Chain A
Amino acid sequence: MRLLLIEDDKLLGNGILSGLRQSGYAVDWVQDGETAIAVARSEQYDAIILDIGLPRMSGLEVLDRLRTDGSVIPVLVLTARDAISERIEGLDRGADDYMIKPFDLDELSARIRALLRRSSGRSLPVIIHLNIELDPASHMVTRDQIPVDLSPREFAILQTLLENTGRVMSRTRLEESLYSWKDEIESNAVDVHIHHLRKKLGAELIRTIRGVGYIVDKA
């Protein structure tokens, strides 16, 4: 899961970045609206965390531009003001959720999970596929009710595949969900993670589409 964080305050941005990485997200962080729009246009993200009080271009303007572009990406807005009118304006202009500073990091993670869940059309918090259960909140995966130990990146690939069953996920798409742009990408990293997943969850779960990527078939 790859997130875009737009926050002008360095100290806070740094904190959110670390916190979300701890939760297993790949996070890119930009500090102003214009860069944010450029990045959002060129890169693939699963959700955006947007501070409203940005210098130069306000967060709401960024939101407007994103929605004008036709993007349906889930956006969680961060605000330092608790005036109801401001929250309503944010939601009306296309935000999916909001949080008031100072917020709880665990709650932020939970809300992001909920946003991702809704955007993938699920309403159950746990993804169930045949004999496999994946809980995005606790990062727990079970096979036949027996917990399976996965690394954060293996977990992220599995979640992406399970949320998009029946669709081929390209290797690039999977890579993007793993790494923010500062990370060094190893060329065969995705293949290695898929290999480990097959060992832990059974070879038949993930199918290779040669030269394109991987797919988990609909149950």
Chain B
Amino acid sequence: MNLSLRKRLLVLLLMAIVIGWLFAAMHSYYDTRDEVEDLFDAQLAQSARALLTLSSHELSEQLAYLAQQEQPEKHREQITALDHKYEQQIAFQIWQGKERLLVRSDNAPRSPMTHFVNEFDTRVIDGKKWRVFALLDEQNDIHVQVGEEHRRRDQISNDIALHIFTVIIVILPFLAALIWISVGNALAPLVKIARDVTKREFDNLQPISIQGVPEEVRPLVTALNGLFERLETAFTNIRRFTGDAAHELRTPIAALKTHAQVAYRGTDPVEIRKSIAAAITGADRASHVVEQMLTLARLDPESQVIKFEEVDMCQVAESQIADIANLAWEKGIDLGLHCQARHLVKGKAALLAVLVRNLTENALSCVPKNGKVEISIAEKADCIILEVADNGPGIPEAERAKVFDRFYRGKNQAHSGTGLGLSIVKRIVELHHATIHLDSSSLGGLLVRVSLQTTSGLSAYQGSEEVQIAEARD
């Protein structure tokens, strides 16, 4: 049920109130009925006692006379009806012994109303419910029976019940209105916050003021503000990323366009071919940037869940390096892989392939002609260590932290990278809970060391100093 908070509160509160009220009403109804019963019974008893006291004395003599006359009917007394609605129309019989009815009221039956003495009884007489009571004057053997129709009592009880319900019915709408207004009032800060948020421009991520916000709503506002803050950071990152991306794409596209225009204007077929070839190179570079950006974007979502599998790093490295070997050969670079056995790690093969490839390509693009790039994979202290070493210019210590930033390109830009390669590497390293460390290689250039988790996580090897140093520096 998708009710508004206000409506829900109204319904719930009204329901609670009505149920509570009903219980209270029932209780007081039964309570009152018992009281009424007691009261009426007491009056009945009192009437009987009064009747007995008043009559027994005089009656005893008269009765003796009357007993001879055998005309008890003539002595009946006329009781005039009163007008009050709760007026008790008590019927009575005065008996001598069990058989002889001396006096009875108009509304009393001719047969005895009860067989009990000194005890209240509820009986059906002539199809009507009666409450009866009897008293006995044992001395004179005078038996007084009083009774009244139960209908009176029921009427009073019903009147009381009706009254209670009428009050509920009458007050309920007012109560509903009051609840509606109060709840609305209490919810006003929420409405205000909602209005504030609705009115916002999509890029307005200023925190919502916590002033005047009720205590219950404060966690929500605080959570919202936290979200705004995270969004702001994400937006800034995205803005910077798209800015950088545009920048990175612009140069190759500018080159592509310029060469295309040169070719278009040219007259010498050889020059035209050269320009077109250069334009194609520009297009390749632009698409490489796009490719790298897409790779990074795919790796990006924070919550990404990657199914890890057992991956043989050596196999991954072999296939990647076989792919690039030709490029190295063309540049006259000595590219070598040292991998003795199977080295299983927990990871995603496709991502680890990108990692190896990016690191190797990076090294290849840095080293001079006839340079040297060495890749080695070994197991050390629960970790599989992948090392890529080259004899290129290396990276100065001060710059090492920055190279993982997106679009960062070293000050010594001999090669035309996208500035994304190492960002991708770092992301893959993070996803694998691995570590990456840059150092100077024994070849004279850069050494990149990636420590990956083994599948077992167990190794007989006792931690080497080298790894510990690397980790300490990270």
A residues in contact (CB < 8 Å) with B:
8-12, 14-16, 18-19, 22, 53, 55-56, 80-83, 100-106
Contact = CB atoms under 8 A, between A and B. Distances in A.
B262 interface: yes
Contacts of B412: 55-56
A11 B262 contact: no
Most buried by B among A11, A83, A103: A11
A18 B416 contact: no
18 contacts: A11-B252, A11-B278, A11-B281, A11-B285, A12-B251, A12-B252, A15-B255, A15-B278, A18-B271, A19-B258, A19-B261, A53-B247, A55-B409, A56-B411, A80-B247, A103-B257, A105-B257, A105-B265
B115 to A, nearest CB: 112
Contact of B251 (A18, A56, A101): A101
Given A15-B262, A81-B247, A106-B261, A9 B416 contact: yes
Contact of B250 (A10, A16, A102): A102
Contacts of B256: 102
Given A18-B259, A18-B275, A105-B262, A8 B282 contact: no
Contacts of A12: 251-252, 254-255, 258, 282
Interface in B145-163: none
For the complex of A and B, the 9 pairs showing the least CB-CB separation, nearest first, are: A15-B258, A102-B254, A101-B254, A12-B255, A105-B261, A11-B255, A101-B250, A80-B250, A15-B259
A9 B251 CA distance: 8
Nearest to B282: A11
A22 B265 contact: yes
A102 B256 CA distance: 9
Given A10-B416, A18-B262, A81-B246, 18 more contacts: A9-B251, A9-B416, A11-B252, A11-B255, A15-B282, A18-B275, A22-B262, A55-B413, A56-B411, A80-B248, A80-B254, A81-B247, A100-B250, A101-B251, A102-B250, A102-B257, A105-B262, A106-B261
Interface residues of B, number: 29
B247 A8 contact: no
Nearest to A31: B413
Contact of B416 (A11, A14, A22): A11
Interface string B104-125: 0000000000000000000000
Interface string B28-41: 00000000000000
A99 to B, nearest CB: 9
A83 B257 CA distance: 22
A55 B248 CA distance: 14
Contact of A19 (B248, B262, B413): B262
Nearest to A23: B265
Contacts, number: 84
Contacts of A14: 255, 259, 278
A103 to B, nearest CB: 6
A9 B247 CA distance: 13
Nearest to A82: B246
Interface string B258-297: 1101100110000100010010011001000000000000
A81 B250 CA distance: 8
Contacts of B285: 11
Contacts of A80: 246-248, 250-251, 254
A11 B258 CA distance: 9
B86 to A, nearest CB: 94
Contacts of B247: 53, 80-81
A11 to B, nearest CB: 4
B261 A16 contact: no
Nearest to B247: A80
Nearest to A105: B261
B299 interface: no
B303 to A, nearest CB: 32
Most interface-central of A16, A82, A105 (chain B CB within 10 A)? A105
A62 to B, nearest CB: 15
Contacts of B257: 102-105
A29 to B, nearest CB: 13
B265 to A, nearest CB: 5
Contacts of B248: 80
B285 to A, nearest CB: 7
A83 B244 CA distance: 12
B253 interface: yes
B259 A101 contact: no
Nearest to B259: A15
Interface string B218-255: 00000000000000000000000001001110111111
A35 to B, nearest CB: 14
B258 A16 contact: yes
A49 B31 CA distance: 104
Interface string B360-371: 000000000000
B244 to A, nearest CB: 9
Contacts of B254: 12, 15, 80, 101-103
A105 B258 contact: yes
A2 B275 CA distance: 22
A164 B250 CA distance: 38
Contacts of B265: 19, 22, 105
Contacts of B251: 9, 12, 53, 80, 101
Contact of B261 (A10, A82, A83, A104): A104
Contacts of A16: 258
Contact of A22 (B246, B266, B281): B266
A82 B242 CA distance: 12
